[in-house]
A and B are shown apart, each in its own frame.
Chain A
Amino acid sequence: MRRTTSVSETPGSEKPGSERSIGERPGNPSAGVATATRGTVATGGVEATGTGAVTTGGAATPTAPTYQQPHQPLLTVEALQTHFELRQWGFLRVGSVRAVDGVSFTLDHGESATIVGESGCGKSSLARTLLGLHRPTAGRVTFAGTDLATLRGRALKAYRAAVGYVQQDPYGALPPFMKIRRILEEPLIVHGVGTRRAREERIAAALEEVGLEPAHETWQKFPHQLSGGQQQRVVIARALLLRPKLIIADEPVSMLDASVRAEILELLRTIQRQHRLALLYITHDLSTVRHYAHRAMVMYAGRIVEQGPVERLLDRPHHPYTRALLAALVDPDAANAHQQRPIPAGEPPSLLHPPSGCRFHPRCPAIMVGRCEHFDPEEAHPRPGHRVACWLHSR
């Protein structure tokens, strides 16, 4: 209950203001000031805008966003909630699964961010909500300055072309009864791209880009005739075909052979850099995060509990959950990440009846009894761009 109130305040009253400041006020300091008076959620959006320019450059990444209105993020997520109603006999409400429950972050043009969290914490639900496949229960997603909820018809279709999707299960992601050529032609047909010839050229180019040469041999095949790694390359090619600005990769390697994981991740990163795409890389495996993304977000029970620049988050984690995840990593090298690491003791929380107060409190070794289980932690900012939702760091 407490949680719902804190979140639902934001969308109603504070959105318009925050949106305007993101879109039109380039001056970061003023935005920062405006932030201070706003609720936790809106703060995130604006703070991150600053981060995009400052921190990403500081992290010595070569692909810092340098083009197109640098102060308007590509993607802004504000207090996003996606709840799934559970019904009995088709109408009786028996509860709702709070799969995404108040998520805020921004993503700049060409920026890559990763979302880490245990399985079942709502990562895929978040991804699908961002893709416009679930209607958000509350909150707002803004893409290149446009509210996703207002998109209809052509504009919505254009949005779908601008966002690519790479799924977890590459075999399931490809219709088994179509040849690769047809599979890749589908999105182009849907978006009315050119003649058959033009489409073929584009398909061939995409297949070559993902390393499936010669294209003319690959596209004669059915998905089951390819290896898992090759299938995922086809999925990536499909995500690229419509020349997106953002790719959402939902655990793109978790179902692949350990031997090909590294190369698929490398392929994604190369593509992201070459096309200056924004990339949202979702994983349950913290070990694949380092060296990979600019920014990392740690998700727990439908919320982002800590986010910040990758290096800083991994080297100086603040949230007890992040710390526990890191402690569980024996070898932080992505190349050796061939098994799922043990996760901190205790059950992952139920999203149907999430714990009160801090959702991590039943498993938290540093719990402050009397506070953590009753009150939602306020977000703390140990550094600009580094945000933690934990009472240990508030005040």
Chain B
Amino acid sequence: MSPWRDGLRRLRRYPSALLGALIIVALLATAVYAVVTIPYSEAQRLWRGGDLWQELPVNAGPVWADRLFGGDAPRTLRIPTAAAPIAEEAYEGVRITEQRLTFDFTYSEFPSEINLFLGSSGSDRQPFVRATWITPQGEQIPLDARRIGANERISISQNQTLEGRLGAPPQIGLFSATSAGAGTDQQALEVQQGTYQLLLETVHFAETSELHGELIVYGQVHGWAGTDHQRRDLSVALLWGTPIALAFGLIAAVGTTVTTLIIAAAGVWFRGWVDAVIQRLTEINIILPLLPILVMIGTLYSTSIWLMLGVVVVLGIFSAGIKMYRAMLLPIREAPYITAAQAYGASDLRIILRYMVPRILPVLIPTFVTLIPTYVFLEASLAVLGLGDPILPTWGKILYDAQDQSALYHGFYYWVLSPAALLMLTGLGFALLGFALDRVFNPRLRSL
């Protein structure tokens, strides 16, 4: 039976290995899902942010977290003008239209923000719009009146005069049961559930002039991941952080272990000055601190994740592992089968790659598996230090933003907890599997 298959069979006796493998499979599935559903360029575009996120609330928590604790925080409501019937009256030179954007508000908590996006088209002469808020009781509250250009954003919740009239921020005042006078305790305000209307009365100055737009009543929760301070949906970064973290960890781990192993084998095989040079380089490299070097490169040169990866691999080649592999390879070098291979003419390269390296590969598997999360954490640490890749969404970048915006102070726990949980899950999965593999493939531990 092949030593590999034998090892895998023995691995099945460790439940922790199964759990670890399960976690890793789930992470891999997530990574594949992310890459398939959101193409790389799209992920970059989404994370760059801007207007494309304007219909999402700022710093909204995940829906499930709110519901889990019995909350009834509102989701975002979008009421487009296209859905509302238009009543039109024509006068001399002008047309007056009337539209009622109608929606039901059934939540027991206030929305976080109200924006009205309006735009006009069809004529150089901008139409004039008057917006009026109509509560379920029929009370009419004038909001704004102005000319509407091609694309306008009317931030109702930022309207200072309105806030003054209402005695509360508009998103609260407009939805509360009793119209609050100045000095009313805001905490005591109750949500008025029912059907609300936004009345848009428009004066068009041309036959072809048209109005279009959307009223957005922002919720306090969004999706399964929530949003950040730039309204970006965190699910993008959480999803895309998975393939990036795994790829970084995997490439760095493969890159360092394989090259380290091959270099150690070359030193053992050629002996003499080759070995001496490798040994000395290793000793020098061991005392060079990795993180400060990366910080230096990130600060002075570039924070591209691929550059960091390259530096990590290059600095990882002559790592302390060389000493360990060397000790393991020295007796193998003298194995008769190597002499036999030499005698039938196998080249140096073939002996190193085919006869020496495979011999200690099984011992290497656990080291390799436990090394992956180390590099995942390294990447996250760099991002938290502000040296994350500038264009890619990663878990570390979420943490950096969260810390930058004092997320915990403001109570946005989800912002910190979800990337942290993913990082820890990654560490846990690989560690569980790695330790079990160690017991299976490392003969010294197996006998314990």
| A binding-site residues for B, Cβ under 8 Å | 90, 128, 131-133, 156-157, 160-161, 163, 165, 167-169, 172-177, 186-187, 190-191, 222, 235, 238, 242
Neighbouring B residues of A238 by C-beta, 8 Å: 340, 344
* Minimum Cβ distance to chain B for residue A175 (Å): 5
B300 on the A face (CB < 8 A)? no
Q: When the two chains form the complex, which single residue of B2, B335, B343 contacts A160, counting CB atoms closer than 8 Å?
A: B343
- Complex Cα–Cα for A131 and B346 (A): 13
Q: When the two chains form the complex, which single residue of B339, B342, B358 contacts A177, counting CB atoms closer than 8 Å?
A: B358
Instruction: Please report which residues of chain B, range 345-389, place their CB below 8 angstroms from some CB of chain A when the two chains form the complex.
Output: 345-347, 350, 354-355, 358-359
B289 on the A face (CB < 8 A)? no
With A161-B344, A242-B344 known to touch, is A169 a contact of B339 (CB < 8 Å)?
A: no
With A90-B276, A177-B3, A177-B358 known to touch, is A190 a contact of B344 (CB < 8 Å)?
A: yes
- The residue of chain B having its C-beta at the shortest distance from the C-beta of A183 within the complex is B337
With A175-B355, A177-B358 known to touch, is A187 a contact of B345 (CB < 8 Å)?
A: yes
- Complex Cα–Cα for A351 and B181 (A): 110
Judged by DSSP, the binding face of A is: loop
Q: Let me know if B341 and A186 touch, CB within 8 A.
A: yes
- Complex Cα–Cα for A352 and B343 (A): 27
- The residue of chain B having its C-beta at the shortest distance from the C-beta of A173 within the complex is B336
Neighbouring B residues of A160 by C-beta, 8 Å: 343-345
Neighbouring B residues of A161 by C-beta, 8 Å: 344-345
Q: Let me know if B339 and A133 touch, CB within 8 A.
A: yes
Chain B 165-194 per-residue mask, 1 if CB under 8 angstroms from chain A, else 0: 000000000000000000000000000000
- The residue of chain A having its C-beta at the shortest distance from the C-beta of B272 within the complex is A90
Q: Let me know if B344 and A133 touch, CB within 8 A.
A: no
Q: Let me know if A167 and B336 touch, CB within 8 A.
A: yes
- Complex Cα–Cα for A161 and B345 (A): 7
**Told that A160-B343, A160-B345, A190-B345 touch, could you supply 4 new A-B pairs with CB distance under 8 A?**
A168-B336, A176-B3, A187-B345, A191-B344
Q: Let me know if B342 and A133 touch, CB within 8 A.
A: yes
Neighbouring A residues of B358 by C-beta, 8 Å: 175, 177
- The residue of chain A having its C-beta at the shortest distance from the C-beta of B359 within the complex is A177
Q: Let me know if B343 and A131 touch, CB within 8 A.
A: yes
CB < 8 Å A-B pair total: 64
Q: Let me know if A167 and B339 touch, CB within 8 A.
A: yes
- The residue of chain A having its C-beta at the shortest distance from the C-beta of B362 within the complex is A177
- Complex Cα–Cα for A156 and B339 (A): 16
- Complex Cα–Cα for A165 and B276 (A): 32
- Complex Cα–Cα for A133 and B341 (A): 11
Neighbouring B residues of A169 by C-beta, 8 Å: 336
- The residue of chain A having its C-beta at the shortest distance from the C-beta of B341 within the complex is A186
Q: Which of B340, B346, B358 has the most CB of A within 10 A?
A: B340
Neighbouring A residues of B345 by C-beta, 8 Å: 156-157, 160-161, 187, 190-191
- Complex Cα–Cα for A28 and B245 (A): 79
Q: When the two chains form the complex, which single residue of A156, A163, A167, A222 contacts B340, counting CB atoms closer than 8 Å?
A: A167
Instruction: Please report which residues of chain B, range 272-320, place their CB below 8 angstroms from some CB of chain A when the two chains form the complex.
Output: 276
Instruction: Please report which residues of chain B, range 1-34, place their CB below 8 angstroms from some CB of chain A when the two chains form the complex.
Output: 1-3
Neighbouring A residues of B359 by C-beta, 8 Å: 175-177
- Complex Cα–Cα for A177 and B359 (A): 7
- Complex Cα–Cα for A173 and B343 (A): 11
Q: Let me know if A133 and B336 touch, CB within 8 A.
A: no
Neighbouring A residues of B354 by C-beta, 8 Å: 186
- Complex Cα–Cα for A310 and B343 (A): 28
* Minimum Cβ distance to chain B for residue A161 (Å): 7
Q: Let me know if A128 and B339 touch, CB within 8 A.
A: yes
Q: Let me know if A163 and B336 touch, CB within 8 A.
A: no
- Complex Cα–Cα for A190 and B341 (A): 9
- The residue of chain A having its C-beta at the shortest distance from the C-beta of B2 within the complex is A222
Q: List 19 A-B contacts (CB under 8 A).
A: A90-B276, A128-B339, A161-B344, A163-B343, A165-B340, A167-B336, A169-B336, A172-B336, A174-B337, A176-B337, A177-B359, A186-B344, A187-B345, A187-B346, A190-B345, A190-B350, A222-B1, A235-B340, A242-B344
- Complex Cα–Cα for A186 and B344 (A): 9
- The residue of chain A having its C-beta at the shortest distance from the C-beta of B276 within the complex is A90
Q: Which of A172, A191, A222, A235 has the most CB of B within 10 A?
A: A172
- The residue of chain B having its C-beta at the shortest distance from the C-beta of A161 within the complex is B345
* Minimum Cβ distance to chain B for residue A334 (Å): 24
Q: Let me know if A172 and B335 touch, CB within 8 A.
A: yes
- Complex Cα–Cα for A235 and B343 (A): 12
* Minimum Cβ distance to chain A for residue B293 (Å): 31
- The residue of chain A having its C-beta at the shortest distance from the C-beta of B4 within the complex is A177
* Minimum Cβ distance to chain A for residue B341 (Å): 7
Neighbouring B residues of A235 by C-beta, 8 Å: 340
